[in-house]
Structure 1
């Protein structure tokens, strides 16, 4: 962190006090309004140009606003929270709009493998990209956001959705400037391969319940899944011989060019990272009661870790009737009211006075 010089801080207080006594009441409010705008931004990290959108809400000229870095989920998810053309929930774009309505600026960007950024410097060697590269990319975005002239660097937060929540945690533990809060929305709450194995075991159980396979087949395939996970963690060739074709293809993909990424993200335990957060950091953790990817009970170790780190509220918030994409079941085009309420509570927690 590069702290403000003590003398400069004192000077700012004195100037503010003098100005308060000289300017007529309401002078600050009389400054002209600047309309909301999207600003295309770029930054370079590890030899790759990353493309993003800085969303600025309506604000007074010269105003310094709170801001949030928004981080997407797994796979080739772009700055809007989409994997076009098949998956377009616009999760991050909707979050940016919701924050703007509260006067909060935001930055979202196309991470490696998505949007205009693509694989960048890794295009000719995709097998060399690992999870720490994504963390460095997010950290560079956080620093860029804090440097924007419209942003109050005391009030920059991180919000990650799904796998992006883990990246938010990784950046937050050593963020410069110190983060004003970290939001974990439907987060990757367990180690990567533990989540994958749990989901596959649940699918096998559902197939038995639907009469699509026998319990004996379930046990055999389940053992094969556990062996494959152990192979990945031990850096061994993956044995897929006892798996159905579709499942074998999944693990062969995990053991292919993306293996370095898979092994490096699986090495990170979200709860262990959360325990390293600076004390009194405002933290939000959400889980939806109809989210099959992140059931609420799987977030308990992460919620406990946030408490042990002595973070501030709101803490874990259960979202009734909300799924993984945070949308309103009655209107999938908008975020669920419960998710918006949790977001508002988080942004108010520990917020500094307006500048």
Structure 2
């Protein structure tokens, strides 16, 4: 459930509307200089107030890390512009197409981070896939329907991603490259079950929205998921829809599944308490000295009030742009929402999950005793077997070749069938 620091370079300064019409050009030039090992030149486009944090050496180090993971950058092109203060640029690397968000104020660039990815078809897939573009309020959501072989009618598991910039494959580049959702889709297809996974608004291909996805509230993601369930129900090949929500997607999924009458729901490492409690616990574990300030901010947000003064160390979570979303999220209690469900429900938690403890799965099950509960002792938050040691656990977040927990796979297949 942790709201991730999007990238080590993501400076969470407020977006400032500006009138410069050449920011698109500057954003492309900035990325081209980085890809051509001219980080010092790229630093000349940075706003003075962040020059120390986005210096040439810092930019060079960041780019080297990205290149080590995805190979050489072959080309750069402007993707879209939500407004003059936020430009989207595609970088085509040897292993993936990364979508970068370049943020400006009136003096220059104030931050850049990876906001999503578009896979390159370097290997022919062993599975039949259909790419979908589905209209929702304000834009289109892009996703992939994976079809099982030799089936004219089949159940479909709709996978809803966790928080932050996690894409349809379960990646939030460069911090998370485990590919868990794609792995799940592939193993389901092998067992005669279809799946639909999608890029949330503002992530990957689903980047163009009006108003921009940066202003979305929690209800928007629920509405999106509800629309997608409805569209899947219209497909005559689909015998039933099982919604599987991972992490933050668990709460989104349980509401969407209920509203659109899905045939089943699976909570994968979902929170069993309102998000303010989860954030308080997680942040105070990492920053115990900020405990009182964290509680004060969360109390204000719970009461529907934004907070103007946020310590720099907490800006990545509580910056002004994110606060309306957090306010809208805090209003939902997963325990109250799951009580309303009349369909079959499977709740899965991981014994080595360092983000959402198994107590949350227990809490959800207590709220809906008719649900099935499964605690997989060796499974972590990204649905793979991992040690309990935090550092060793987090190493698995970048290992796409590590398979999913076999116990998890068997449980989802049995529940769906």
SS of the counterpart of 1:122?
coil
State the 1:276 CA deviation.
0.4
Q: Deviations over 1:259-290 (max 9, x none)?
A: 22111111000010000001xx2211111111
Structure with max Cα Rg:
1
Distance 1:66-1:263 versus aligned 2 partners, 3 A rule? same
Aligned to 1:259: 323
Match of 2:130 in 1: 39
TM-score (norm 1): 0.74
The CA deviation string for residues 128-156 of structure 1, in whole angstroms up to 9 with x for no partner, is x111111111111111112223211xx21
Instruction: Report deviation, 1:69.
Output: 0.9
* Distance in 1 (alpha carbons) for counterparts of 2:271 and 2:219: 16
Aligned pair partner of 2:364 in 302, 317, 321: 302
**CA distance in structure 2 between the partners assigned to 1:204 and 1:84 by the alignment:** 24
Tell whether 2:247 aligns with 1:162: yes
> Alignment partner for residue 98 of structure 1, among 187, 195, 204?
187
Unaligned stretches of 5+ residues in structure 2: 1-125, 388-395
User: Superposition pairs for residues 145-156 of structure 1, below 5 Å?
Assistant: 145-152=232-239, 155-156=240-241
The answer (yes or no) to whether the contact 2:202–2:214 under 8 Å persists in 1 is no
Pairing partner for 2:414 from 331, 338, 345: 345
Counterpart Cα distance in 1 of 2:214 and 2:142 = 19
State which of 233, 258, 266 in structure 1 corresponds to 2:302: 233
Q: 1:289 aligns with which of 346, 351, 358?
A: 351
Alpha carbons of 1:133 and 1:239: their partners in 2 closer, same or farther (altered >3 Å)?
Answer: closer
**Rounded Cα–Cα distance in structure 1 between residues aligned with 2:223 and 2:181:** 20
SS at match of 2:196: strand
Distance 1:117 1:77 in 2: 12
Provide the residue aligned with 2:262 in structure 1.
179
Displacement of 1:301 after TM fit? 2.1
Q: Which residue, out of 313, 318, 340, partners 1:246?
A: 313
Q: Secondary structure at the match of 2:210?
A: helix
Q: Do 1:231 and 1:239's aligned partners in 2 also have CA atoms closer than 8 Å?
A: no
Deviations 1:194-221 (A, max 9, x none): 110011222246xxxxxxxxxxxx3xx2
Query: 1:221-267 CA distances to partner (integer Å, 9 max, x unpaired)?
Result: 211111111111223342757x5x413x23542xx122221111110
Q: Secondary structure at the match of 1:121?
A: coil
Secondary structure at 2:143's aligned position in 1? strand
Q: Unmatched 5+ residue regions in structure 1?
A: 1-34, 206-217, 349-355
Normalised to the residue count of structure 2, the TM-score between the two structures is 0.63
The partner residue of 2:282 within 199, 202, 213 is 199
Identify the residue that residue 32 of structure 1 maps to in structure 2. Answer: none
Q: Report the Cα distance in structure 2 between the residues aligned to 1:148 and 1:258, rounded to whole angstroms.
A: 36
Calculate the aligned-residue CA RMSD, in Å: 2.0
1:316 aligns to 2:373 (yes or no): yes
- In the alignment of these two chains, the number of paired residues is 280
Whether 2:210 is the aligned partner of 1:121: answer yes
Aligned to 2:200: 111
The residue aligned with 2:383 is 326
> Is 2:138–2:211's contact at 8 Å kept on the other side of the alignment?
no
Higher relative helix content: 1
Distance change (3 Å), C-alpha of 1:199 and 1:161: same
Change (3 A) 1:246 1:84: same
Corresponding residue for 1:22? none
Q: Residue 59 of structure 1 aligns to a residue in which SS?
A: coil
Superposition pairs for residues 15-34 of structure 1, below 5 Å? none
User: Runs (4+) of structure 1 moved beyond 6 Å?
Assistant: none
- Structure 2 residue 155 is matched with structure 1 residue 66: yes
Match of 1:268 among 328, 332, 346: 332
Matched residue SS, 1:58: coil
Distance 2:214 2:184 in 1: 30
